[in-house]
Amino acid sequence: MKLVVAVVQDKDAVRLLESLVEKGFRATKLASTGGFLKEGNTTLLLGVEDNQVNEVVSVVKKTCRSREQLVTPLTPVGGPVDSYVPYPVEVLVGGAAIFVLNVERFDRV
């Protein structure tokens, strides 16, 4: 038994959940926040059999994609503000972070 933890951008979460349910997987959805952009993410927890891990990862890869986004950097704290010019910067966001963990015991009650 494995625990698949997938951290995805909120924009992809609904489509991903629909795709997983279509394939017969159950997931627990948690709201989370990214550390870099401080934007909303969704963390999904899925308990699956060892032989189902590749299928779950495949669904996540097909559904969640990276995209470019313009971001205005935050003002530096404690630094010289007069030399700081907040030009938008294009960064790559999205995709998914997928963790697969061994599970000693899983009960559904």
pLDDT digits 0-9 by tens, 41-86: 899 999 999 999 999 999 999 999 877 767 766 666 665 655 656 7
What is the third-level CATH fold of 2-102? Alpha-Beta Plaits (3.30.70)
Q: Bridge partners of 67?
A: 93
Closest among 103, 3, 107, 108 to 48, alpha carbons compared: 3
Q: Which residue has the tokens 């891990």?
A: 53
**Which of 48, 60, 49, 50 has the alpha carbon at shortest distance from 20?**
60
* Full-model pTM: 0.77
Mean per-residue pLDDT of the chain: 85
- Partners of residue 68 on adjacent β-strands: 92
Beta bridge partners of 94: 66
* Predicted pLDDT of residue 68: 74
Q: What is the pLDDT of residues 15-51, one digit of tens each?
A: 999 999 999 999 999 998 876 666 778 999 999 999 9
